[in-house]
Amino acid sequence: MKIAILPGDGIGPEIVEQAVRVLNALDEKFEMETAPVGGAGYEAHGHPLPEGTLKLAKEADAVLFGSVGDWKYDTLERPLRPEQAILGLRKNLNLFANLRPAILYPELAGASTLKPEVVSGLDILIIRELTGDIYFGQPRGVRTAPDGAFKGEREGFDTMRYAETEIRRIAHVAFQAARKRGKRLTSVDKANVLETFQFWKDIVTDVHKDYPDVALDHMYVDNAAMQLVRAPKKFDVIVTGNMFGDILSDAAAMLTGSIGMLPSASLDAHNKGLYEPSHGSAPDIAGKGIANPLATILSAAMMLRYSLNKAEQADRIEAAVKRVLAQGLRTPDIYEEGTTKVGTREMGDAVVRALA
Amino acid sequence: MKIAILPGDGIGPEIVEQAVRVLNALDEKFEMETAPVGGAGYEAHGHPLPEGTLKLAKEADAVLFGSVGDWKYDTLERPLRPEQAILGLRKNLNLFANLRPAILYPELAGASTLKPEVVSGLDILIIRELTGDIYFGQPRGVRTAPDGAFKGEREGFDTMRYAETEIRRIAHVAFQAARKRGKRLTSVDKANVLETFQFWKDIVTDVHKDYPDVALDHMYVDNAAMQLVRAPKKFDVIVTGNMFGDILSDAAAMLTGSIGMLPSASLDAHNKGLYEPSHGSAPDIAGKGIANPLATILSAAMMLRYSLNKAEQADRIEAAVKRVLAQGLRTPDIYEEGTTKVGTREMGDAVVRALA
Ligand SMILES: CC(C)[C@H](C(=O)O)[C@@H](O)C(=O)O
Ligand SMILES: CC(C)[C@H](C(=O)O)[C@@H](O)C(=O)O
């Protein structure tokens, strides 16, 4: 089985290196091939998602992705900016289902900005649709307004759209995930304002008929943002569109106070997937050897579980991560008094040791 | 000067009644006329925004609004649902600037789900554009997909659009508000994905030239949702579009833990405005006499300040509210041990007394 390794920019290469070491420390051996992406792709081949990188990602069984982006690319025209690589990979590989767990590890409860009683034991799963919505909807652009109160003026515009199949397939993923957990699914929409999300709500309600054992409720996105702050533990699984999911999954991750710990999986219809940490490329700390590699290591575990069918190896990695936390090892982002501060490589070393 | 009083549904009538009592207790006398809106409008005239109600709102100098919505109207077709009233008022009265303060009263610091050190002294102002964006953009609906991967299938769709004038005028409101406060403005966009918000960012950057004394920064909406949870006190004024503002202003309000305290103003270009509490109609507690009237009373104060040019009277009301909090009076939503629990009317009584 072949894994495409796309380290990307900023702290990406450092944290991916540790995840690769962890993978190499398993009994099972995997073929791995590395290619540049994001700013690194632009530097090497003049494009954030070079042809060879896309080809590798397509033929591999899974993709391990670091992170992309750096301020120095801010002035490039949009199609050349690093984040186009991640959008291009999602679209080209049909990775429509983004799974983002927001879990608070008991050892890191203090890292949250929320009161311990509000977040301790937090374990929610956000399922974000990833290839549709206003992210990709055509038409879009800047034009002369064709109608309306500002007709004739310059305007920016985008199109939100969701077809029935797109909603059905992500709803199935969500109901199935809920079935394996607390059997409660919250579908987040804005059906009171948007036609797209009234349609979304109707289809999700229809798909629910196949999952009578799962409790479904519908919540407006503004209320969901409030409830995540007020009582996040009331959620089990949340499913929503690409745009709302972008906002809510980041808010949920931040509730834990340790976004450096949170992995993510982006899957197609056949469990092929791209795995990446939930955090960004953090160019401010790149190259300093202090970035937290655990989100990427846990992303590698998700990859073993979902795409490579090696659940036992995934369990081993997750247990090893718990062990190093219990040993008190912390990168600076999750450091607290009374624990031991370590760098990126030392943290990787510790996980490799804990695997044994 | 004439005030249109639109109590609406749920707890709306109870809380508006107290705000009217407070207004009547001022030296200054105002002409007030009441009309039904939302579900109440539908019951009385078959429409959430009856013609007479809209006419009254248009001819008045300001509108004091309670809240609309109740589960019992959920099955009505969209144009008849209560929330169409508030969308219709915003659009018809050109109320493009929504000001939503998120303030944590020192007496209520314990009500927040966030740690005291993260939120104590919180005082941010969110300025949400209110008459454009995907809320009103045409075309929208459910149709057969005309193109794309799901061509020929049923799809829901909406159009996000912002014309130059719309962005310029809300940017001016935001820079002027920032100038009167901490002189820092954060413009929230999703310029890395949306054409509308790259255009937004460009125009806001251009308007900034008129306000060299205000520091402007740009932040992606997903990051803004995270930073509100991580370090909300770093913000001063936030300006954003209608959709993102809906989500972020509710999240920010919930950070305080006391959304029952937060007023809002929605203004047109001539300081005519609609004033309403930031919370909803809470049908579950309607008629029980326990709803918190303070957000509505503080909305009346904002009305005096922004639309009726009576800043002194506004100051008096705000001081009276602070006094009743200092006296330890609390409705159930903000009650804590050691304080005195009171109902809606008693809270109104207390504010009227404290005015003296
Ligand atoms: C970089 C950006 C295009 C991307 C998104 O908006 O999807 C990121 O925020 C994410 O959530 O992976
Ligand atoms: C009721 C709804 C249409 C409205 C909105 O989305 O604007 C509400 O959430 C608000 O923020 O006032």
Closest chain B residue by Cα to residue A159 = B159
**Separation of alpha carbons A320 and A328, rounded Å:** 13
- Is residue A28 included in any domain, yes or no? yes
Residues of A recognised as catalytic: 135, 190, 222, 246, 250
- Is residue B113 included in any domain, yes or no? no
Dig out the tokens for B19 from the structure. Answer: 């705000």
**Does B210 share its domain with B308?**
no
Nearest to A264 by CA among A305, A224, A323, A225: A305
| Residue A260 CB neighbour total at 10 angstroms | 26
Q: Which of B190, B196, B253 sits opposite A157 (nearest CB)?
A: B196
Dig out the tokens for A128 from the structure. Answer: 């974000």
**Separation of alpha carbons B302 and A282, rounded Å:** 41
Annotated active-site residue B250? The verdict is yes
Alpha-helix residue ranges (DSSP H) falling in B180-293 = 195-207, 221-230, 242-255
Question: From the CA of A9, how far away is ligand 1's center (Å)?
Answer: 15
Tell me which residue has its CA closest to atom 10 in ligand 1: A246
Chains A, B: CB contacts within 8 A come to 197
Tell me whether residues A254 and B229 touch, CB distance under 8 A.
Answer: yes
- Is residue A5 included in any domain, yes or no? yes
- Is residue B104 included in any domain, yes or no? no
Question: From the CA of A309, how far away is ligand 1's center (Å)?
Answer: 27
**Separation of alpha carbons A300 and A16, rounded Å:** 9
Q: Which of A149, A156, A196 sits opposite B195 (nearest CB)?
A: A156
Omega prior to B48 cis, within 30 of 0: no
The answer to whether B100 is annotated as binding is yes
Q: Of B255, B290, B325, which one is at a domain's C-terminal end?
A: B255
- Is residue B117 included in any domain, yes or no? no
| Residue B55 CB neighbour total at 10 angstroms | 12
- Ligand minimally distant from the alpha carbon of residue A67: 1
* Rounded percentage of chain A residues whose pLDDT exceeds 90: 97
- Boundaries of domain holding A296: 1-95+258-356
Alpha-helix residue ranges (DSSP H) falling in A93-220 = 116-119, 164-179, 195-207
**Separation of alpha carbons A57 and A242, rounded Å:** 22
Set of chain B residues whose Cβ sits within 8 Å of the Cβ of A129:
none
**Does B45 share its domain with B128?**
no
Tell me which residue has its CA closest to atom 1 in ligand 1: A83
Tell me whether residues B135 and A193 touch, CB distance under 8 A.
Answer: yes
Set of chain B residues whose Cβ sits within 8 Å of the Cβ of A230:
113, 254, 257
- Judge if the beta carbon of residue A192 lies within 6 A of ligand 2: yes
Tell me whether residues A163 and B140 touch, CB distance under 8 A.
Answer: no
CA-angle at B155, arms to B149 and B159, nearest 5°: 100
Question: Roughly what angle, to the nearest 10 degrees, separates helices B344-355 and B294-306?
Answer: 40
**Does B137 share its domain with B21?**
no
**Does B132 share its domain with B251?**
yes
- Ligand minimally distant from the alpha carbon of residue A277: 1
Question: From the CA of B264, how far away is ligand 2's center (Å)?
Answer: 12
Annotated active-site residue B190? The verdict is yes
Beta strands in chain A (DSSP E): 2-8, 31-34, 62-67, 97-103, 123-129, 141-144, 154-163, 184-189, 215-220, 237-240, 263-267, 273-277, 329-330, 340-341
The answer to whether B292 is annotated as binding is yes
Q: What is the mean pLDDT of each run of 10 residues along chain B (356 residues)?
A: 97 98 95 98 98 98 97 90 97 98 93 95 97 98 97 98 98 97 98 97 98 98 97 98 98 94 97 96 96 98 97 97 97 95 98 96
Nearest CA-CA distance, residue B18 and chain A, Å: 26
| Cα A199 to chain centroid, rounded | 25
**Does B209 share its domain with B299?**
no
- The CATH number given to whatever domain includes residue B242 is 3.40.718.10
**Separation of alpha carbons B137 and B133, rounded Å:** 6
pLDDT digits (tens, 9 = 90+) for A26-46: 999 999 999 999 999 999 999
Question: From the CA of A242, how far away is ligand 1's center (Å)?
Answer: 9
**Does B240 share its domain with B275?**
no
- Judge if the beta carbon of residue B83 lies within 6 A of ligand 2: yes
Q: Of B226, B255, B284, which one is at a domain's C-terminal end?
A: B255
Total residues found in chain B within this entry:
356
Closest chain A residue by Cα to residue B166 = A150
- Is residue A139 included in any domain, yes or no? no
Question: From the CA of A246, how far away is ligand 1's center (Å)?
Answer: 7
| Residue B28 CB neighbour total at 10 angstroms | 11
**Separation of alpha carbons B244 and A114, rounded Å:** 23
Inter-residue contact A98 to A132 (CB < 8 Å): no
**Separation of alpha carbons B229 and B226, rounded Å:** 5
| Interface-testing mutation among B193, B205, B284, with chain A (most A C-beta atoms within 10 A) | B193
pLDDT of amino acid A247: 98
- Judge if the beta carbon of residue B247 lies within 6 A of ligand 2: no
- Is residue B106 included in any domain, yes or no? no
The answer to whether A315 is annotated as binding is no
Tell me which residue has its CA closest to atom 6 in ligand 1: A246
pLDDT at A306 > cutoff 90: yes
Nearest CA-CA distance, residue B170 and chain A, Å: 15
Tell me which residue has its CA closest to atom 5 in ligand 1: A246
Beta strand A273-277 with A263-267 is: antiparallel
CA-angle at B292, arms to B288 and B297, nearest 5°: 130
Nearest CA-CA distance, residue B256 and chain A, Å: 10
Dig out the tokens for A68 from the structure. Answer: 């992309």
Q: With 0-12 CB in 10 A as exposed, 13-18 as middle and 19+ as buried, what is B142?
A: middle
Side chain identity at residue B208, one-letter code: H
- Judge if the beta carbon of residue A223 lies within 6 A of ligand 2: no
Q: Which of A78, A145, A255 sits opposite B163 (nearest CB)?
A: A145
Question: From the CA of B72, how far away is ligand 2's center (Å)?
Answer: 18
**Separation of alpha carbons B60 and B1, rounded Å:** 8
Residue with tokens 């205000």: B214
**Does B245 share its domain with B274?**
no
**Does B327 share its domain with B288?**
yes
- Judge if the beta carbon of residue B134 lies within 6 A of ligand 2: no
Nearest to A246 by CA among B196, B218, B225: B225
**Does B207 share its domain with B177?**
yes
The answer to whether B281 is annotated as binding is yes
- The number of distinct structural domains making up chain B is 2
**Separation of alpha carbons A344 and A18, rounded Å:** 8
DSSP-based helix, strand, coil % in chain A, nearest 5: 45, 20, 30
pLDDT digits (tens, 9 = 90+) for A239-256: 999 999 999 999 999 999
pLDDT of amino acid B74: 85
**Does B251 share its domain with B278?**
no
Inter-residue contact A133 to B249 (CB < 8 Å): no
- Ligand minimally distant from the alpha carbon of residue B134: 2
Set of chain B residues whose Cβ sits within 8 Å of the Cβ of A156:
161-162, 194-200
Inter-residue contact A190 to B194 (CB < 8 Å): no
Side chain identity at residue A21, one-letter code: R
Nearest to A178 by CA among A221, A227, A235, A225: A235
**Separation of alpha carbons A276 and A266, rounded Å:** 8
Tell me whether residues B251 and A157 touch, CB distance under 8 A.
Answer: no
pLDDT of amino acid B143: 98
Nearest to B259 by CA among B331, B352, B343, B173: B331
- Judge if the beta carbon of residue B222 lies within 6 A of ligand 1: yes
Inter-residue contact B53 to B41 (CB < 8 Å): yes
Q: Which of B166, B194, B195 sits opposite A150 (nearest CB)?
A: B166
Q: What is the mean pLDDT of chain A?
A: 97
- Is residue A233 included in any domain, yes or no? no
Q: Give phi and psi for A126, each to the nearest 5.
A: -100, 125
**Does B349 share its domain with B236?**
no
Q: Of B236, B255, B274, which one is at a domain's C-terminal end?
A: B255
Inter-residue contact A298 to A263 (CB < 8 Å): yes
Side chain identity at residue B174, one-letter code: A
The answer to whether A282 is annotated as binding is yes
Tell me which residue has its CA closest to atom 5 in ligand 2: B246
**Separation of alpha carbons A155 and B172, rounded Å:** 18
Q: Which of A199, A225, A259 sits opposite B156 (nearest CB)?
A: A199
**Does B149 share its domain with B49?**
no
